[in-house]
Structure 1
Amino acid sequence: MKLKYVFLFVFLGLANITMAQQKEITLEEIWGEEKAFSTKGMDVLHSMNNGLQYTVLNTNKEEKTASVDKYDYKTLQKVETIVASTALNIEEAFSSYSFNADESKMILATEVEPVFRRSRLGIYYVYDIASKKITKISDNKIQEPTFSPNGKKVAFVYENNIYVKDLQSGAGSQITTDGVKNKIINGVTDWVYEEEFGFVRAFQWNAASDHIAFIRFDETEVPEFSMDVYGSELYPQQHVFKYPKAGEKNAEVSLYLYSLNAGKTSEINLSNYTDFYIPRIEWTNDPAVLSVQVINRHQNKLDLILYNAATNQKSIVIRETDKAYIDVTDNLTFLADNSFIWTSEKDGFNHIYHYKKDGKLINQVTKGLWEVTNYYGYDEDSDRVFYQSVENGSVNRDIYSIKINGKKKQRLSTKEGTNSAKFSANFTYYINTFSSVTTPPEYSLHLAKNGKLEKEIKNNADVKEKLGNYKISLKEFFTLTTAKGHALNAWMIKPADFDASKKYPVFMYQYSGPGSQQVANKWNSANDYWYQLLAQKGMIIVCVDGRGTGFKGSDFKKVTYKELGKYEVEDQIDAAIELGKRSYVDKDRIGIWGWSYGGFMSSNCILKGNDVFSMAIAVAPVTSWRFYDTIYTERYMQTPQENASGYDENSPINHVEKLKGDYLLVHGTGDDNVHVQNTMRMIDALIKANKQFDWMIYPDKNHGITGGNTRLHLYNKMTIFIENTLLKK
């Protein structure tokens, strides 16, 4: 859908912004302890099996207490407290919880500490709701404790081995014995799987609670990466972990089945595959049948395999291929008859499909030149599928239902902007989260059958009212068409006192990574307030989603295949050129910035577009794809051995001699994702080329560069750099 100034919103819903609103945003308000413009959210809730009630974890940070409370969907009133930390004999209040299948027991997490982005270690307890008895699962800090479906056992991982605890007898058994740090991992993922396939628990109970399937990682030959942790002691420590960089050795993965009745482990033969990944395993409703997704290293061939543990037979029920790559999702859903729902981009857009249990296509459930952006589930009683899509324009999100035969589609959400849903277990209700550029997050309860509003839950009208006292600018959505004819979604923020007869510097923001989106009709992030601050200082801020970004079809997204940093950079340069043609833009003062992939992009732009961009800021950038991990990089680039020119011609580290403008590099030394090696090697290359630049290193800070005063310091640093470059006459 072409966006020719479809959205031109007055930020606070006013016809005009009066000069009486002179209060200006400060960095301390955005990034200080106050977080003056933060909005209230909905607590993470768990829908109870009855579909009429839900539970929420309520915490009191001052008193260091926690409780799991039950609420009624229809009234939103509290029904009861299921468990409170004050009634338990535990060292620390619990910070998360999960139920067993019949909701008679809970696992409570305490003393939790992060390992990497998603993985956690903690002390866990089982709480029996009827008896109010609490049992510690292990005296050690463990990972991923999970109830068996019958609720009689808990499986977990400790020091890379899988254990099972019998909750009736209290006896424990060790399933694997070969786990060793930085060598063998059983039941949880290695670093690169966790980061790029987005999961940690690599074991699954079957429906009968008598088998556990698990993935084993042999990372013995994976190269190690080490980071110095400076801390506060006299000598720094070293953090060493396995990190496979593009083209290097991956962990060898294998799939195993443990029989609890026989006490025996057997390997599931996947000998037909070499150099592959197992990004998902999931038992079907048949307790003997396990589904396994296997994808090749290039990630352009994916097989969905059904393995029968009773017969030791396996069959490929779906084989997906793509000229570029296939995205792995969590959308696979087995229905009561073991037919299943699957999402795919095979017709050029992401859609929902229904297959028989043998893999024969029943029908394509959704169709159109638009994308399904979230699959919520299937309600057997009403025979309907619930999903989120961009049918109403690629910058918007709406909630829909449709019969599984693809008929009687119904739009459930009504407000234009970004809608997302959390459904009750039986699809009676859903809680809708809505926001737009003019409306801060609103939460409301709806009937799933027709989307009817039942009750307003929470809004953030106070934040909107507060912003009415500030000098806030408009946010304009538009389509920017480059000289090459590429129509790109974009937004622009001008100074509140904008004068078309003047010329303004332009500061561009982008991320640009494959399938991403920054131009979206939703409420402000913290960076949006920073952009308002910069607009107050007299500049225009622009964001353009170039080719390679998401939600406009696979051709648009996958054009960057094997050439990351070519077409996306071209689009940012061409967009800047088009902006420079506008009478109110000073084409000699156009800057660009980004974080992570965006830092890779901004670095490339200041180099390849050195006659267009006068400055750039790169935070935590990839400076050569040779430094980044296998799964992400090779998905889009294949290996460096196969595609050396794609890597080297589009990596900023190889273009430093082109630097003309002002360039600021920022990185945290504790970044386990995009290693500070990227910035150090970039610095070395710039020095060798005798190029002047600015840089900032944050000791022991990870990829997010947060903690304490760090964010405030970082944004002060960047603001001063912008003032000394773009705003300097």
Structure 2
Amino acid sequence: MKKSLILVTIFTLITSINYSQQDSKNTSGTKEITLEEIWDGTFSAKRMNSLNSMNGDFYSLLNRDKDRNTSVDKYSYATLEKVETIVNSKDLPEIDGFQSYSFNNDETKIILGTNFKKIYRHSYTGTYYAYDVATKKVTLIGEDIQEPIFSPDNKKVAYAKNNDLFIKDFSENKIIQVTKDGKKNSIINGITDWVYEEEFAFVRAFEWSNNSEYLAFLRFDESKVPTFSMDIVGKELYPSQQVFKYPKAGEKNADVTLHMYTIASENSKKIALGDYEYIPRIKWSNDDKILIATTLNRHQNDLKLHKVDAVKNTTSVLLNETDKAYIDITDNLTFLVDNSFIWTSEKDGYNHIYHYDFDGKLINQITKGNWEVTRYYGFNESKKTIYYQSVENGSINRGVYSIKLNGKNKKLLSNEDGQNSAAFSTNLNYFINTFSSAEIPPIYSLYNAKGKMLKVIKDNGELKEELAAYKMSPKEFSTININGNDLNMWMIKPVDFDESKTYPMFMFQYSGPGSQQVGNKWNAANDYWHNMLAQKGMIVVCIDGRGTGLKGAEFKKITQKELGKFEVEDQIAAAKKLAERSYIDKNNIGIWGWSYGGFMSTNVLLKGNDIFTTAIAVAPVTSWRFYDTVYTERYMQTPQENASGYDDNSPINYADKLEGNYLLVHGTGDDNVHVQNSMRMINSLIEANKQFDMFIVPDRTHGIYKGRNTRLNLYTKMTNFVVEHLLN
């Protein structure tokens, strides 16, 4: 069954070798980069529209014409030419336009969505219609509903509304209410709660069986989860209040249970899964009656795949995987025709692809080596071939590969260096490859499954030419040995760099578990800002320390139970080692970061006050006691079990060590890292009688971007702060 429109926003990829080798020395122009240009889109690369792979060698795009009519258009992968317009809003007077679409399984019907209202990061309500491609008839599914999806037999649509589940039966023209106990901040049926949405990255928690006879769903009882509230200033005389359930580390999670609704009897049954804390995934196998439910314990280091028999209401364990630290949740579980399945795991120390039979017996490990599989694309049954992305050519690069199910005949399908990412056709005969590197903006190219590049679609050559007029310095990639590890690093120097002079150094990092900032990829907005700062006369550096990703499980998981210890040690040690270079001004070293990076920059300024003089922290966690259960306990266990791990690495407890210049930034509408974090940090600084700067942004969420000039204003503030304290 096709899931509701997978918008594959094609990220950076590659095409012709000749283009990728041109002008790699990056000769610099004379124009100065401005903040206005960074945030008005002057340096934005051209992107492809988000596409949806269709049956056969076709894909579809959601297009908008000059009259603001929207259409779903069908294209050929082989030619990249439009084949037909499937539906156009101008032909649907019943609908005031549509902004999303999703096909049913055989592409005879489409769900069209409009009037969206955002809830959290990924969730929203909307008005949805069913469109019959053959008859061109439109039928309202519902208003203010969530996540509608067709049954495989095309006769019904399941959806959520007001925390309950419903089924619209088109054949009998009736609506069936599956659950009736939904209540805000209490019971949720079929839709995930805040923490599942944020940390397990899914919203729709219901799935049709392949024969359309069953609907499996999760029920969240969050009645005992502590409530968090935020005042929203808005534009009215009195602020409003956002109130939602948010389980902080060590506190009560929602009680999540699995249920099976039988269409024929219109009854639900609760499914017993033994002892567990989380159900982060449910997925039907190729057996019509067997659902696979994934469970995790609270420490997230004991994962089970349960075979659930929908007819007998029985369960058995298909696979049980444990880890000393934690196990990441992915969407890579794939069932083959014989119901054997593909699974990815770090059990040999690196993330690799495995093949199991339907009894959970290992058939073979498909990929092997001291490198990480970073994305699983799919399996071509007829060719017995798997397609995946990995860092086999260095942890700062990404390549697209194919390999046989038996682990033989591995082949690199994309370019060797840079960032390559693939958007495959449904039948895996073609893929659109997006390539970029630190020197080359995104190039979109059509490839066949054998790795032959057929056509360049978009190359961003004009952006490359425009940037030649600006003062731009290349990123210099290298490694630096810190605390016995070779850490990936990039450095940006001023265009007129003179090794006989000294320059202040400004460090950037994120540092969170499994993350990466040092990558051979094209510029994001921060890269232009860093280059702008370099041209003002400073050296900008980024280092991925211990705990970051793509160098094996041991490197990543060393921070277990000690978030903020080894990562902080590495940034401080790196600053001291770099300060030994003759061109680094050891008396003017700063650091900045956002979210986890803000937690880090705050800690580094305090614990590294003998080397760091300046820091900016945007939306920082200041104590992991304030953050959510799923993310925090994955790495830290609970505060009750690991109090010292929480408190010894919390900057709140080291406010008295502040000696340098500190700018603290936070949005008051941040439902993720609550402004409570910064308020508690501020109180600690006040109690320690320390002077600092702060910038509180009303009603903005974690990204601090909504509203005219919000980002421009923020980066102007940060630029002035850095220039004042590192250059003057």
TM-score range for the pair, normalised by the shorter chain length: over 0.9
The whole-number CA distance in structure 1 between the counterparts of 2:170 and 2:509 is 51
Runs of 4+ in 1 over 3 A off after TM superposition: 9-12
| Equivalent pair of 2:27/2:468 in contact (CA under 8 Å) | no
Which residue in the other structure is 2:51 paired with? 45
- The 3-state SS of whatever aligns with 1:598 is helix
The whole-number CA distance in structure 1 between the counterparts of 2:545 and 2:321 is 27
- Say whether residues 1:89 and 2:93 are aligned partners: yes
> Displacement of 1:312 after TM fit?
2.4
Q: Amino acid of the residue matched to residue 236 of structure 1?
A: P
Which residue in the other structure is 1:3 paired with? none
- Say whether residues 1:128 and 2:132 are aligned partners: yes
C-alpha distance after superposition, 1:305-360 (max 9, x if no partner) = 11111222211111110000000100000111110000000000000000000100
Q: Cα 1:12–1:698, aligned 2, differ >3 Å: closer, same or farther?
A: farther
- Say whether residues 1:22 and 2:21 are aligned partners: no
Which residue in the other structure is 1:727 paired with? 727
Q: Cα 1:118–1:16, aligned 2, differ >3 Å: closer, same or farther?
A: closer
The whole-number CA distance in structure 2 between the counterparts of 1:679 and 1:387 is 41
TM-score (norm 1): 0.96
- Say whether residues 1:243 and 2:242 are aligned partners: no
Aligned residues between the structures: 709
> Displacement of 1:168 after TM fit?
2.5
| Equivalent pair of 2:233/2:239 in contact (CA under 8 Å) | yes
- The 3-state SS of whatever aligns with 2:727 is coil
The whole-number CA distance in structure 2 between the counterparts of 1:549 and 1:155 is 40
- Say whether residues 1:546 and 2:541 are aligned partners: no
Q: Amino acid of the residue matched to residue 503 of structure 1?
A: T
The whole-number CA distance in structure 1 between the counterparts of 2:307 and 2:129 is 34
- The 3-state SS of whatever aligns with 1:679 is helix
- The 3-state SS of whatever aligns with 2:79 is coil
| Equivalent pair of 2:438/2:474 in contact (CA under 8 Å) | no
- Say whether residues 1:99 and 2:103 are aligned partners: yes
Q: Amino acid of the residue matched to residue 528 of structure 1?
A: D
- The 3-state SS of whatever aligns with 1:549 is coil
| Equivalent pair of 1:343/1:353 in contact (CA under 8 Å) | yes
> Displacement of 1:15 after TM fit?
4.2
Deviates more, 1:164-173 or 1:253-262: 164-173
Q: Amino acid of the residue matched to residue 475 of structure 2?
A: K
The whole-number CA distance in structure 2 between the counterparts of 1:490 and 1:170 is 61
| Equivalent pair of 2:20/2:440 in contact (CA under 8 Å) | no
- Say whether residues 1:55 and 2:60 are aligned partners: yes
Unaligned runs of at least 5 residues, structure 1: 1-8
The whole-number CA distance in structure 1 between the counterparts of 2:260 and 2:266 is 11
C-alpha distance after superposition, 1:412-456 (max 9, x if no partner) = 1124100000111111111101000111000001110x2001111
- The 3-state SS of whatever aligns with 1:196 is helix
Which residue in the other structure is 1:516 paired with? 515
- Say whether residues 1:229 and 2:232 are aligned partners: yes
C-alpha distance after superposition, 1:588-628 (max 9, x if no partner) = 10100000000000000000101110000000000000000
The whole-number CA distance in structure 2 between the counterparts of 1:496 and 1:283 is 56
The whole-number CA distance in structure 2 between the counterparts of 1:433 and 1:467 is 20
**Aligned residue runs from structure 1 range 172-183, under 5 A:** 172-183=175-186
Match of 2:193 among 177, 187, 190: 190
C-alpha distance after superposition, 1:517-539 (max 9, x if no partner) = 00000000010000111011000
- Say whether residues 1:170 and 2:173 are aligned partners: yes
Deviates more, 1:144-153 or 1:407-416: 407-416
Q: Cα 1:330–1:15, aligned 2, differ >3 Å: closer, same or farther?
A: closer
C-alpha distance after superposition, 1:129-162 (max 9, x if no partner) = 0000011101x30000011011110000000000
Which residue in the other structure is 1:713 paired with? 713
**Aligned residue runs from structure 1 range 384-533, under 5 A:** 384-448=385-449, 450-482=450-482, 484-533=483-532
Which residue in the other structure is 1:5 paired with? none
The whole-number CA distance in structure 1 between the counterparts of 2:572 and 2:402 is 41
| Equivalent pair of 2:214/2:310 in contact (CA under 8 Å) | no
The whole-number CA distance in structure 2 between the counterparts of 1:45 and 1:127 is 19
| Equivalent pair of 2:26/2:474 in contact (CA under 8 Å) | no
> Displacement of 1:13 after TM fit?
2.0
Unaligned runs of at least 5 residues, structure 2: 1-18
| Equivalent pair of 1:92/1:111 in contact (CA under 8 Å) | no
> Displacement of 1:17 after TM fit?
2.7
The whole-number CA distance in structure 2 between the counterparts of 1:16 and 1:110 is 45
- Say whether residues 1:36 and 2:39 are aligned partners: no
> Displacement of 1:59 after TM fit?
2.1
Q: Amino acid of the residue matched to residue 627 of structure 1?
A: F
Q: Amino acid of the residue matched to residue 535 of structure 2?
A: Q
> Displacement of 1:75 after TM fit?
1.1
**Aligned residue runs from structure 1 range 694-705, under 5 A:** 694-705=693-704
- The 3-state SS of whatever aligns with 2:371 is coil
- The 3-state SS of whatever aligns with 1:618 is strand
**Aligned residue runs from structure 1 range 264-343, under 5 A:** 264-270=267-273, 272-274=274-276, 276-343=277-344
Which residue in the other structure is 2:641 paired with? 642
Match of 1:65 among 62, 66, 69: 69
The whole-number CA distance in structure 2 between the counterparts of 1:607 and 1:618 is 12
The whole-number CA distance in structure 1 between the counterparts of 2:480 and 2:63 is 46
The whole-number CA distance in structure 1 between the counterparts of 2:182 and 2:403 is 47
The whole-number CA distance in structure 2 between the counterparts of 1:393 and 1:16 is 23
| Equivalent pair of 2:652/2:684 in contact (CA under 8 Å) | yes
| Equivalent pair of 1:471/1:496 in contact (CA under 8 Å) | yes
> Displacement of 1:486 after TM fit?
1.9
The whole-number CA distance in structure 2 between the counterparts of 1:11 and 1:661 is 44
The whole-number CA distance in structure 2 between the counterparts of 1:210 and 1:154 is 13
C-alpha distance after superposition, 1:364-418 (max 9, x if no partner) = 0000000000000000010001000000000000011000010111111124100
The whole-number CA distance in structure 1 between the counterparts of 2:359 and 2:172 is 41
- The 3-state SS of whatever aligns with 1:488 is strand
TM-score (norm 2): 0.96
C-alpha distance after superposition, 1:209-238 (max 9, x if no partner) = 010000000000000000000000000000
Q: Cα 1:12–1:532, aligned 2, differ >3 Å: closer, same or farther?
A: farther
> Displacement of 1:10 after TM fit?
12
> Displacement of 1:91 after TM fit?
4.6
State the Cα RMSD in Å. 1.3
- The 3-state SS of whatever aligns with 2:144 is coil
Q: Amino acid of the residue matched to residue 456 of structure 2?
A: E
C-alpha distance after superposition, 1:635-667 (max 9, x if no partner) = 000000000000000011111000000000000
The whole-number CA distance in structure 2 between the counterparts of 1:82 and 1:511 is 44
- The 3-state SS of whatever aligns with 1:280 is strand
| Equivalent pair of 2:72/2:85 in contact (CA under 8 Å) | yes
Which residue in the other structure is 2:209 paired with? 206
